[in-house]
Structure 1
Amino acid sequence: MAKKDIPSINYFKDKMRIADLLNVYLYDGNKIISPQDITELNPILAKSWWNDKKLKTNVNITDVLFEVKIPVGKETDVKNDDNGIQKIPIIISIQNQSDISYVMPVRVINADANGYYLQWKDIERKHKREKQAWADHGEFLSKFKESDRLKPILTIVIYFGKDNWNGAKSLKEITDLKVCPLHIQKQMKDYSIDLIEVRNFSDVEKFTTDLREVFGFLQNDGNKQQLEKYVEKHREGLLSLEEDAYDLICVMSDMKKLQELKSELRQEGGCNMCKGLEEIIEDETRQRETLVNILYEHLYNDERMGDMKRAFTDKDYRRQLMKEYGLQVEPYSFS
């Protein structure tokens, strides 16, 4: 399992965060789903069958899996207090991605189909234990009553990568339909995926948990000035990040320096991300000052007094000279 998988799995096991994620993604930020509506399920979907006198097995592991009770009817009919509103269970699967997968629709189809298969087998097992009487031959063959229903499955892919997602978002995008006649193309069924691109997600400020800080931080970590402004604006939330949120930010942005500082930044209630970032900025500033002094020494020794004088006031020219002498400040990517 990739090193980035464990922090993301641990982070999304929290029911408050899942409720927050679903309320923003499915209900535009309205508080419809609460942690009490969420039950964690076993993410290992395993099935077995006999074929040619041999036991065959198939295992599909999703990152986190939940049963979530959602209200029936329009979201505007739902009030904050549970006053008898009918709720139905659906299955929510969270699949975290740090890299682009060009076969993501196939992976989602496979996982969803496996989930439906296991639901069917659970119903079959229940009927067998209860010695269910079948209404007709079709029910007997399928071990599934006409009135039986499967719980809907919704898989949400959460992509943390720095590059924009350029993989397929639907099955048809990776299916060679051009070779088929038009009337056949129309008959082919599509299967779209639900994709959240963390670094391009536009509703970050609607989050009420530290999802806001995690998503927001990662959206700004590629630009020093933007990140400093973001940290200053969201200082209160970043002062005491829960440890699993801190870990997720570190691994998804490759902040090795922040990881090294973690033990020093622990405090009651979480980790102080602001202090860690300030230490990194100070370290970079000291590094830059040292390299600038080395540059001036080189220019003096090479008798380039005119260039040295210009470098005192012209930052762009100073950077050009530093590049010429191979004096590069460690990039502000914390790697």
Structure 2
Amino acid sequence: MGRKDVITREYLSSDEVFADVVNLALYSGKCVVQASNLSEVDSVEELAITMEENDSKEERGKNRQRTTQRKQSHIVQRYRDIVREVVIDGADGYLARIIVGVEEQSETHYAMPVRNMLYDALNYSGQVNGIGEKNRKSGLLVTSAEFLSGIRKNDKLIPVVTIVVTFQPEAWNGPMSVHEMLDWRGIPDELRKRIPDYEMLLLQPFDYKEEKVSNPQSTFGVIMGLLKYASSMEDFQKYVDEHEEVLSNMPVRAAAVLNEFCTLDLTEQELEKDEVIDMCQAVREMKEVSRREGRMEGERRG
């Protein structure tokens, strides 16, 4: 795992940041999920696949082989970046429960839709196995169909969703769904419609819209906005001025993310000195250096 990945995952692990990510990705920026609505979930997704394998053994004194079958379990494991269970007041007086995984990508991953689909499928499989184990222990399985599946007709699973977060200022240039990854040559539209798709939820600076965000709980939105305008000197400076209050009291983990993606060259000692850091000066100095370098390059070419 690279340095950027470690820093960004530490930042996204904060409940306040995680809640803002969920609100932006699932609720169009409305402040629905609070940090207090989150609880930790095991980040390991695994599936035990039991297969029957044949063993051939030659019997003594006989010119023949005996074939026996044995069951062999193979474990499929995948490690998510961050997972939380979200519980909020839902419709009709019910508590709404969902499991949310957040995957951080410092670079475009061209197989991300399939990867997310696997994460979610493994979680659903784990839920089925867990419910089945409880049903068997409690003697709740009655019909042959229930014994076959381990679950009853009215047993329900908790919805699972994966959100991909990237802090790279450049637009994500990979596929956004499994369908975008498939070779459709020669396949008619009628058949294409019947092949299941799996779409990806992505948060990135490139298409971040601050006006959609209400009552943020963390610095997540400010970081996304700052990175969005990093390539434009005028827009960048305007954004810094508008968010000076937040930037002048930036939590260390948030400052570390900006330090990596804006190349601010803050030292480890500076990042570890206090719990909050005044990033305004560091950000402005970085842009001033870029301005001077651009001017010098222009003079050399001129």
Q: TM-score, normalised by structure 2?
A: 0.83
- Pairing 1:189-268 to 2, within 5 Å after superposition: 189-203=196-210, 206=213, 208=216, 209-253=218-262, 255=263, 257-260=264-267, 263-264=269-270, 268=274
> Separation in 2 of the partners of 1:109 and 1:182?
23
Q: Report deviation, 1:159.
A: 2.4
Q: How does 1:1-335 map to 2 (within 5 A)?
A: 1-51=1-51, 52=53, 53-73=71-91, 85-130=93-138, 132-203=139-210, 206=213, 208=216, 209-253=218-262, 255=263, 257-260=264-267, 263-264=269-270, 268-280=274-286, 320-323=298-301
Instruction: Classify 1:218/1:283 alpha carbon distance in 2 versus 1 (closer, same or farther; 3 Å).
Output: closer
Change (3 A) 1:165 1:321: closer
- Measured in 2, the distance between the counterparts of 1:155 and 1:94 equals 6
TM-aligned CA distance change 1:28 to 1:184, over 3 Å: closer
Name the SS of the counterpart of 1:88 in structure 2.
strand
Residue 24 of structure 1 contacts residue 203 of structure 1 at CA under 8 Å; is this kept in 2? no
| Letter in structure 1 aligned against 2:22 | L
Is the alpha carbon distance of 1:10 and 1:321 closer, same or farther for their aligned partners in structure 2, counting shifts above 3 Å?
closer
Letter in 2 for 1:18: F
Q: Closer, same or farther in 2 for the Cα pair 1:283/1:72, shift >3 Å?
A: closer
CA distance in 1, matches of 2:158, 2:147: 21
Distance 2:245 2:299 in 1: 40
Partners of 1:141 and 1:205 in 2: how far apart? Answer: 47
* Contact 1:265 1:276 (C-alpha < 8 Å) held by counterparts: no
Contact 1:44 1:59 survives alignment (8 Å)? yes
Higher relative contact order (CA 8 A, sep 6+): 2
Cα distance in 2 between the residues matched to 1:204 and 1:156? 21
Between the aligned partners of 2:193 and 2:10, the Cα distance in structure 1 is 42
Root-mean-square deviation (CA, aligned residues, Å) is 2.6
TM-score, length-scaled by structure 1: 0.75
Distance in 2 between the 1:163 and 1:281 partners? 18
Shift of 1:267: 6.1
- Give the Cα separation in 1 of the matches to 2:157 and 2:246: 40
Identify if the C-alpha distance between structure 1 residues 49 and 232 changes in structure 2 by more than 3 Å, giving closer, same or farther.
Answer: same
Gaps of 5+ in 1: 75-84, 292-314, 325-335
* Cα deviation, residue 283, structure 1: 5.9
SS at match of 1:66: strand
Larger radius of gyration: 1
SS at match of 2:265: helix
Secondary structure at 1:259's aligned position in 2? coil
The 3 A distance-change label for structure 1 pair 166 and 185 is: same
Kindly provide the amino acid, as one letter, of the partner of residue 195 in structure 1.
L
Distance in 1 between residues matched to 2:38 and 2:73, nearest whole Å? 35
Q: Is the Cα–Cα contact under 8 Å of residues 169 and 206 in structure 2 kept in the other structure?
A: yes
Code of the residue aligned with 1:104 in structure 2: it is M
Q: Distance in 1 between matches of 2:5 and 2:260?
A: 9
Unmatched tracts of structure 2, length 5 or more: 54-70
- Asked whether the equivalents of residues 210 and 225 of structure 2 are also in contact (C-alpha less than 8 Å), the reply is no
Compute the displacement of 1:109 (Å): 0.9
Q: Which has the higher helix share?
A: 1
| Identical pairs, percent | 24
2:58 aligned partner: none
Query: SS at 1:46's partner residue?
Result: strand
Change (3 A) 1:91 1:230: same
- Give the distance between the partners of 1:107 and 1:61, measured in 2 at CA: 11
